[in-house]
Amino acid sequence: MTIKTIHFGKDPGETARRRLADLPARVVEGDPHHESTLLFESPDGRMVAGTWTSTPGKWHAFTDRDEFCYILSGHVRLIDEDGGTRTFRTGDAFLIPDGFRGYWEVLETTTKHFVIRHHDTD
């Protein structure tokens, strides 16, 4: 088995589009649309990597994962359940650790590279 490296932005991937309103319990404000290009998935499905774009909106953050993000363009805010905020813009890199509870708020259309490690939810 040959192991290949992944070149974000150059390697082809599988692209999926969704309107977050299709998960109505998640959306808090707006009508965000997401486009994700999956570039890597581990054999057990617990680690994925790719590129994601979202239009403006605010939603409950997904949980049970660690997520590393690098913002290619745009402006986002993460708001924790206590109301603390962190703002990220083009060129920023950050980690959302498992256990984060709060909101994603996309203030202007944003594109990021991501690496996500899913945790067991049993």
Within a domain: 95: yes
Number of H helices, E strands in the chain: 0, 9
Within a domain: 38: yes
Number of domains in the chain: 1
Place of tokens 């259309």: 109
pLDDT score, position 121: 61
Phi, psi at 23, each rounded to 5°: -120, 70
Q: Residue 65 belongs to what domain range?
A: 14-118
pLDDT digits (tens, 9 = 90+) for 67-116: 999 999 999 999 999 999 999 999 999 999 999 999 999 999 999 999 99
pTM to 2 decimal places:
0.90
Within a domain: 99: yes
Within a domain: 3: no
CATH code of the domain covering residue 73: 2.60.120.10
pLDDT digits (tens, 9 = 90+) for 11-55: 888 899 999 888 888 899 999 999 999 999 999 999 999 999 999
Q: What is the DSSP letter of 23?
A: S
How would you class 96 by CB atoms within 10 Å of its CB: exposed for 0-12, middle for 13-18, buried for 19 or more? buried
Angstrom distance (rounded) from CA 52 to CA 69: 10
Within a domain: 8: no
Within a domain: 30: yes
Q: Encoding tokens for residue 51? A: 């590129």
Within a domain: 94: yes
Asked whether residue 122 carries a pLDDT value surpassing 90, the answer given is no
Angstrom distance (rounded) from CA 40 to CA 27: 27
Q: Are 64 and 117 in contact (CB under 8 A)?
A: no
Give the count of alpha carbons within 13 A of 105, CB side only: 14
